[in-house]
Amino acid sequence: MHSHSPLLPCSLALLFALVGCDANHPDADPKTEPGKPEPGKSASFSAPAGYVAHFADALNSTLTSTAVATAETKAWGCSVKYAGDGPSATAKLGEPAPAFALPDVDGKTLSLAEFAGKTVVLEWFNPDCPFVKYAHAEAGPLRTMAKDRGSEIVWLAINSGAPGKQGAGAERNREAKQEYAIEHPILLDESGAVGRSYGATNTPHMFVIDPSGKLTYAGALDNAPMGTVGD
């Protein structure tokens, strides 16, 4: 049972126990420079105790050409609002990422091939999914992560929602770019073909592709859906 407790000793006890446990977690990443956000983590985000940044850790490893310790996690969030059933995923970790070409919200087509030689992040996106709203909110873990990375990476959001489903369509996603101050492209995959080829099941669902075009990570943003570490 979770309880609200304004009593400082109790809060400290809770914080101490959780931080103390997390310090031994194999994914815990202590490399934080004073005054800088932890690499790959949004500057606006304050991580809860016990936080494990699965995606950011994998992105950092990919950028430094080191092996990704946890290359696969189960994504959390809303289900991707596909139009019915479709074929199984073809994407596999360690193998070339499936090629695609999709229009952005202004109708300009972008293809994965044009970013060959760069590290690419794919983020499955639905602007009205509460998990995406949380992640892109002012203090959310994705609010500034793409911008913080600058030209180091290519970040593509992909919306595989079918027409008429929650958060689908060019107009709503054009609005969402403003609403969430998103500078990277949002691509529309209304047939769901690209989403299915990657096995994207949730929003958000994160994928990392290394400069050689191989998939190095598939899974959750972190271990804290809506900011709460699982219990």
Partner 1 sequence: MLRSLALTLTLTIATACTTREPAKSEPSPAEPTRQDQRVELELVRVPDGLAAPVIAELGLPATGLIAARHRIDPGWHLYWRNPGGAGLPVRLTSTPSEGSTLELGPVLYPAPDRFDTSFGWADEAILFVPILSEAGAGAGEGLTIVSKWVACQSEACVAGENHATLGAEPVGEALGLELQGMLDRLPRPLGERLASHAWSQTDERVTLELSLAGDVRSIELFPDASDPALFFSESRFDPERRTLTITWRLGSPGHTLPTSQGVLAWTDSAQTRYHELRLPWPALPN
What is the binding site for partner 1 (CB under 8 A)? 1-7, 9-11, 13-14, 17-18, 20-22, 25-27, 50, 54, 69-74, 76-79, 81, 128-131, 133-134, 165-166, 201-202, 219, 225-226, 228, 230-231
How near is the Cβ of 5 to partner 1 at its closest, in Å? Answer: 5
Nearer to partner 1, 21 or 113 (CB): 21
Of the pair 6, 107, the CB lying nearest partner 1 is at: 6
CB of 136 to partner 1, least distance (A): 14
Q: Between β-strands 119-124 and 205-209, what pairing exists: parallel, antiparallel or unpaired?
A: antiparallel
In terms of CB distance, is 11 or 46 closer to partner 1? 11
Q: Which residues contact 218 (CB under 8 A, 6 or more apart)?
A: 71, 72, 75, 91, 93, 198, 199, 205, 206, 207
CB of 207 to partner 1, least distance (A): 15
Q: Cβ closer to partner 1: 212 or 228? A: 228
**Within 10 Å of residue 109's Cβ, how many Cβ atoms?**
10
- How many whole angstroms separate alpha carbon 121 and alpha carbon 139? 21
CB of 110 to partner 1, least distance (A): 27
Please give the Cα distance from 125 to 122 (Å, whole number).
Answer: 9
Task: Pick between residue 7 and residue 31 the one whose CB is nearest to partner 1.
Answer: 7
> CA-CA-CA-CA torsion for 83, 191, 125, 31, nearest 10 degrees?
120
Q: What residues pair up with 122 in beta bridges, in sequence order? A: 156, 207
